Amino acid sequence: MPVTQTIEVSEKPLPGFIGDRAPMGMLIGGDWTQAASGETFETVNPATGSVLATVASGGPADVDRAVAAARRAFEEPSWASMNPHDRTLVLLRIADAMEANAEELAALESMDGGIPITVTRGMVADAAKTVRYYAGWPKILGTVNPVDASVHCYTVREPLGVCAGIIPWNGPLTMAVWKIAPALACGNTVILKPAEQTPLTALRLGQILAETGLPAGVVNIVTGFGETAGAAIAGHMSIDKVSFTGSTATGKEILRASLGNLKRVTLELGGKSPHIVMPDADIGAAARNAAAGFAMLTGQVCVAGTRILVHESVLDDFAAELATAVSAFRVGDPFDEQTMLGPVVSAEQFERVNSYVSLGVSEGAQIAFGGGRFDTPGYFVEPTVFAGVRNDMRLAREEIFGPVAALMPFRDADEAVRIANDTEYGLAAAVATSNVSTAHRLARKLRAGVVWVNTYSELDATFPFGGYKQSGIGRELGDKSLESFTELKSVFIRL
Ligand code: ADP
Ligand code: MG
């Protein structure tokens, strides 16, 4: 592969939170503690490859301690039985404290995950907004059910108990908040396990939670690897729910591990999302949305629009506009305010993305643009678009989790829908059209949890999110999270 550009990234001063070189502890029962085994791991800055911090590597014994602390906090008359209005006040204080520490949270997120600082600032702001949205939910109501006059029959929603969140590395603070905020709003206590690649913002959030008066044990942060800490959580007999975001393969393992105590499981998994460009679309705007849709966060997004389906009559125009839009993305130092794409998160991801570029070529597809390498020790990859892709190639079927897209022509809307739905995933889909009927017709036919029209990737705390097929089980955000973080009890009283 040709070297297209040199990228230089200077080392940034570490936020004070990381402190000296001592291993960073986990938050269990209100205390900062090392792993029972004494083991640690290092988290790396993917823009430079240098070690940021050493972090406790939790295992089964630590998960046991976290479960005991969370159970105590749930059962003591504290969090679950608190007046919901008082829980609202705590959640509002957490959102305020996140905003007060926004610049530090954004910097930590950018260092640990390689996400550009302009993006992480937006992520922190959105995370605080999501906490406020759930703070506004002391409104979880039951029903009175009309039976006959001699009975009183009603329903009530109750917290599940100890809820675990296992989250990935591609938007760590966002994911932490999606798991923690609705769980707390419903009166549950929480164990959060951040990804081993990006533990820092979860730990800083843990500190913020403790400082804002959240009772000890209500939220516990256990750092560690999936195979140890993660697996101990998924299989734990005293955890009531696990809410997981990550790969489909790991999601299936978690579902299997949950069988022991039939814990509640929600899974938000992978995707291979189609973006359909109709001939009547504003081609320039569609190309810019499609470019952002597959390349933003350097393609490390579960909703990435990696199969771009374009009507054959506009394919050439669209391809030219797409190339222009992608070449405008500045790849570079996450702390440079002009940077739009940082590195991928790890050496492993770097190898994986490059291997898919080679695979595409060996499957017979052609690189339309991109495919170059950068001269830098960081894990930077160039956004790459393939032409001549058939939907049965691995390039079009497997989630790459890097900025690699397949451009495919279609003849009519029926064919577009057929190709779009011909995937084992069903997380997201998009349509570009100027015809409102076409938009609604296609939105109806696409088998995906989220459909965007003339935009891409937009989410909101009120907007239920989740996948069809192997993209997941259940929905997060909006009032749907409140259903999945509560049990429904029916009470039947003969009067
Ligand atoms: P990736 O392969 O890109 O790291 P994963 O889906 O494996 O994505 O990881 C997402 C999260 O799941 C991380 O927090 C990881 O530690 C955790 N994890 C990985 N494997 C397991 C497992 N077997 N059980 C529980 N959690 C796991
Ligand atoms: Mg993994």
Which residue's alpha carbon is nearest to atom 27 within ligand 1?
A: 226
Ligand nearest to the CA of 195: 1
Domains and CATH numbers, the chain: 13-269+472-491 (3.40.605.10), 274-465 (3.40.309.10)
Catalytic residue among 109, 196, 268, 321: 268
Instruction: Tell which residue, 258, 268, 368, has the closest CA to residue 324.
Output: 368
Q: Which of 109, 186, 302, 382 is catalytic?
A: 302
Ligand 1 atom 16 nearest Cα? 226
Supply the pLDDT for residue 4.
66
Determine the distance separating the centroid of ligand 1 and the alpha carbon of 250, expressed in angstroms: 6
Nearest CA to ligand 1 atom 2: 247
Taking the chain (495 residues) in runs of 10, the rounded mean pLDDT of each run is 75 82 92 98 94 97 98 89 93 98 97 97 98 93 94 97 98 98 97 98 96 95 98 98 98 98 98 98 98 97 98 98 96 96 94 97 97 89 97 98 98 98 98 98 98 97 97 96 96 97
Active site residue 302: yes
Instruction: Looking at the CA of 239, name the nearest ligand.
Output: 1
Whose C-alpha lies nearest to ligand 1, atom 20?
Answer: 226
**Cα distance between residue 82 and residue 76, in whole Å:** 10
- Spatial separation of the C-alpha atoms in residues 119 and 336, rounded to whole Å: 11
Q: How many CB atoms lie within 10 A of CB 380?
A: 24
> Quick one: which atom of ligand 1 is closest to the CA of 166?
14
Residues in the chain: 495
DSSP string, 283-332: HHHHHHHHHHHHHGGGG--TT---EEEEEGGGHHHHHHHHHHHHHTS-BS
pLDDT score for 400: 97
Name the token pair of 153: 């029959």
Kind of pairing between the strands at 189-193 and 219-221: parallel
| β 151-159/486-494 pair status | antiparallel
From first CA to last CA, the distance across the chain in angstroms is 79
**Protein residues with CB under 6 Å of any ligand 1 atom:** 166-168, 193, 195-196, 225-227, 230-231, 234, 246-247, 250, 253-254
Rounded to the nearest whole angstrom, what is the distance from the C-alpha of residue 256 to the centroid of ligand 1? Answer: 14
Phi-psi region of 317 (alpha: psi -120 to 50; beta: other; left: phi over 0): alpha
Alpha carbon 19 to chain centroid distance? Answer: 28
Which tokens belong to 17? 């939170």
Report how far ligand 2's centroid is from the alpha carbon of 226 (Å): 7
Cβ proximity of 429 and 275 under 8 Å: yes
Both tokens of 421, joined, read: 């739905």
Distance CA 425, CA 470 (A): 5
Q: Using CB atoms within 10 A of its CB, is residue 249 exposed (0-12), middle (13-18) or buried (19+)?
A: exposed
Report whether 112 contacts 195 (CB < 8 A).
Answer: no
Closest C-alpha among 275, 268, 238, 250 to residue 417: 275
- How far is residue 372's CA from residue 363's CA, in Å, rounded to a whole number? 18
Site to probe by mutation for ligand 1, drawn from 62, 250, 267, 344 as the one with most ligand atoms within 8 Å of Cβ, is 250
- Ligand 1 atom with the shortest distance to the CA of 234: 25
Q: How far is the CA of 308 from the centre of ligand 1 (A)?
A: 28
Residue nearest ligand 1's atom 13 by CA: 195
Pick the residue whose CA is nearest to atom 19 on ligand 1: 226
Q: Are 237 and 214 spatial neighbours (Cβ–Cβ below 8 Å)? A: no
Longest distance between any two alpha carbons in the chain, whole Å:
81
> SS3 for 32?
strand
Amino acid in position 262: L
Index of the ligand 1 atom closest to the CA of residue 195: 14
Cα(169) to centroid of ligand 1, in Å?
Answer: 9
- Give the number of whichever ligand sits closest to the CA of residue 249: 1
- In angstroms, what CA-CA distances link 445 with 414, 441, 449? 9, 7, 12
Q: Which atom of ligand 1 is nearest to the CA of 224?
A: 16
User: So what's the pLDDT on residue 12?
Assistant: 84
Q: CA distances (Å), 134 to each of 70, 81, 352, 375, 457, in order? A: 20, 17, 37, 45, 21
Q: Which two tokens stand for residue 490?
A: 């029916």
Interatomic CA distance for residues 211 and 205, integer angstroms:
10
Give me the DSSP letters along 351-403.
HHHHHHHHHHHHTT-EEEE---EEESSS-----EEEES--TTSHHHHS---SS
Strand partners, 51: 44
How far is the centre of ligand 2, averaged over its atoms, from the C-alpha of 461 (Å)? 27
Q: Which residue from 21, 63, 75 is spatially nearest to 43, judged by alpha carbons? A: 21
Residue with CA closest to ligand 1 atom 15: 226
C-alpha 210/C-alpha 403 separation (Å) is 38
Please give the distance, rounded to the nearest whole angstrom, from the Cα atom of residue 227 to the centre of ligand 2.
8
Q: How far is the CA of 226 from the centre of ligand 1 (A)?
A: 5
User: What single-letter amino acid sits at 15?
Assistant: P
* The ligand 1 atom nearest the CA atom of 349: 3
Atom index in ligand 1 nearest the CA of residue 249 equals 6
- Of the listed ligands, the closest to the CA of 57 is 1
Closest ligand to 258 CA?
A: 1
Which of 112, 166, 167, 179 maximizes ligand 1 atoms within 8 Å of its Cβ, making it the mutation to test the pocket?
A: 166
Task: Tell how far the Cα of 374 is from the centroid of ligand 2, in angstroms.
Answer: 25
How many other CB atoms are there within 10 angstroms of residue 7's CB atom? 18
